[in-house]
Amino acid sequence: MTPLWTSAEIEAATGGTASASFDVTGVTFDSREVEPGWLFVAMPGTVADGHDFVAGAFGKGASGALVSRPVDGPHVLVEDVPAALEALAKAARARMAGRVLGVTGSVGKTGTKEALAAALERRHRGKVHRSLKSYNNHTGVPLSLARMPRDSVYGVFEMGMNHAGEIRALTALVRPHVALITAIAPAHIENLRSIEAIADAKAEIFEGLEPGGTAIIPNDTPYRDRLLRAARRHAETIRTFGSGDADITSLHAVRSDNGGSLVTARLASADLTYTIAQPGEHWVSNSLAVLAAVEAAGADLAAAGLALGDMGGLKGRGERLTVPAKGGTALLIDESYNANPASMAATLANLAVEPVEGRRLAVLGTMRELGEHGEAAHAGLAEPVLAAGVDELILVGEEMAALEQALGGRLPVTRVADSAAAADALQARLAAGDAVLVKASNGVGLASLVERMAGGAAPCST
């Protein structure tokens, strides 16, 4: 196997000094992820120092470590570990001769990133690198870059932020040929104060575009022209996706037998008919963004369409699970990873059209980082909840009192303090044939509810 990095390459990239010669096949700064042959990056932290876990990493088979003080075992010694990881990321990007795609947005960026990687992988098996999980911040993006194999044909990287200037720094590392914004919504508005500021912060992704690069922008947002103005300063080509006069648009979309959608889309070069495995109108929009990026990268559109039809739901972001319930089984839709007003509305709309034999239930938790807008945003969920035909609602967190009050007793509501209490309430209510949506900001911890409800359940095939 060709090594991901040699100790000599790590030395050259970071300016460090190797204690011995070694090769690595992977990189991580989480000692729990270490596999035999990997490089362990001993990142400093506010709670724990990565150097305290070096011995454990070697015990799990790490080939070397990146450290700022000498340790027992093969290592590269540097002055500053985070700076060294960033330098390794830059070296990985510099040696990669393929095409790089960057994704950001207020909602849908992880799912779109995964779908985009799957679309490219369909034709280039084993040659598409992507950022895993939601490694999209000032440490996650450098790690994702450092993990990119030298012979990658495509790299797909997610970039996130909760303050202005953060994506500017990340896109300078990623240097995408294609930069995609999925949507603009009031996520992180507590820090950025306005949706206009959110749009400007997301538009920073265009600043890192390589010469001749393409910017891909959502057409269905009041901030489209604001994004267009930002893109024109950096992109040679701009494509909009969505409805109306968008460059990439759906000519026809209907619900398919498997719960997803059958879509005919107009692209810049051709029309394409394809299916989407994931249900919901928001995934039609996501698919248009994916195909716009695939086309901009010069990749195979037909293969991308096939990949969209095969792609299943992601854990915490739409995965569908069959779970035990009174008298049989029920459908659990796991959206527990994140939530903001736009994504809440989209997934509730999806629940509205979910065919069910029993009832529609929802377990909804607090949406975080909304600041002074929080009370109004939570109360504003009342209309989407009612439109979805929810029969019973379990609310998690004090902030959800605003939604309970806005509903005014129009459906049964149980409000609880935490995920454990929500799981108790759901288990007491869930019956055969029901469908339940579980959604909240990640910090609420509803993933533990999903794990408890699902146990060893397999993903649902419908």
Task: Dump pLDDT digits (tens) for 407-446.
Answer: 999 999 999 999 999 999 999 999 999 999 999 988 899 9
Does the pTM surpass 0.85? The reply is no
Q: Kindly report the backbone phi and psi dihedral angles of residue 82, in degrees, each rounded to the nearest multiple of 5, phi listed first.
A: -60, -40
Structure tokens at 409: 């007793």
Q: According to the model, what pLDDT value does residue 455 have?
A: 79
Given a cut of 70, is residue 313 above it in pLDDT?
A: no
Distances (CA, A) of 73 to 61, 76, 158: 11, 10, 33
HEC sequence for 180-209 = EECCCCCCCHHHHCCHHHHHHHHHHHHHHC
Q: According to the model, what pLDDT value does residue 81 have?
A: 97
List of residues 6+ apart from 392 with CB closer than 8 A: 359, 361, 362, 411, 412, 413, 414, 429
Q: According to the model, what pLDDT value does residue 188 have?
A: 60
Selection from 107-116, 151-160, 280-289 with the highest mean pLDDT? 151-160
Give CA–CA dist 297/127, Å, rounded: 14
Give CA–CA dist 419/133, Å, rounded: 22
Averaged pLDDT for residues 77-85? 97
Residue length of the chain:
462
Mapped onto helix, strand or coil, the DSSP state of residue 126 is coil
Given a cut of 60, is residue 457 above it in pLDDT?
A: no
Mapped onto helix, strand or coil, the DSSP state of residue 360 is strand
Given a cut of 90, is residue 150 above it in pLDDT?
A: yes
Q: Which helix (H) or strand (E) holds 437?
A: strand 435-439
Q: How many C-beta atoms lie closer than 10 Å to residue 33's C-beta?
A: 14
Given a cut of 60, is residue 461 above it in pLDDT?
A: no
List of residues 6+ apart from 388 with CB closer than 8 A: 348, 349, 351, 352, 360, 362
Given a cut of 60, is residue 458 above it in pLDDT?
A: no
Given a cut of 70, is residue 369 above it in pLDDT?
A: yes
Beta strands in 131-287 (DSSP E): 154-158, 178-181, 214-218, 237-242, 248-255, 261-266, 271-276
Give CA–CA dist 430/450, Å, rounded: 13
Q: Kindly report the backbone phi and psi dihedral angles of residue 299, in degrees, each rounded to the nearest multiple of 5, phi listed first.
A: -95, 180
DSSP of 379-428: HTTHHHHHHTT-SEEEEESGGGHHHHHHHTTSS-EEEESSHHHHHHHHHH
Given a cut of 70, is residue 460 above it in pLDDT?
A: no
Q: Kindly report the backbone phi and psi dihedral angles of residue 65, in degrees, each rounded to the nearest multiple of 5, phi listed first.
A: -135, 150
Averaged pLDDT for residues 330-348? 89
Mapped onto helix, strand or coil, the DSSP state of residue 242 is strand
Q: According to the model, what pLDDT value does residue 214 have?
A: 98
Task: Dump pLDDT digits (tens) for 54-63.
Answer: 999 999 999 9
Selection from 42-56, 101-115, 164-178, 180-194 with the highest mean pLDDT? 164-178
Q: According to the model, what pLDDT value does residue 318 have?
A: 79
Q: According to the model, what pLDDT value does residue 192 have?
A: 72
- Judge whether 41 and 75 are in contact, CB under 8 Å: no
96 dihedral zone (left: phi>0; alpha: psi -120 to 50; beta): beta
Averaged pLDDT for residues 151-167? 94
Mean pLDDT of the chain: 92
Selection from 39-48, 259-268, 364-373, 418-427 with the highest mean pLDDT? 418-427
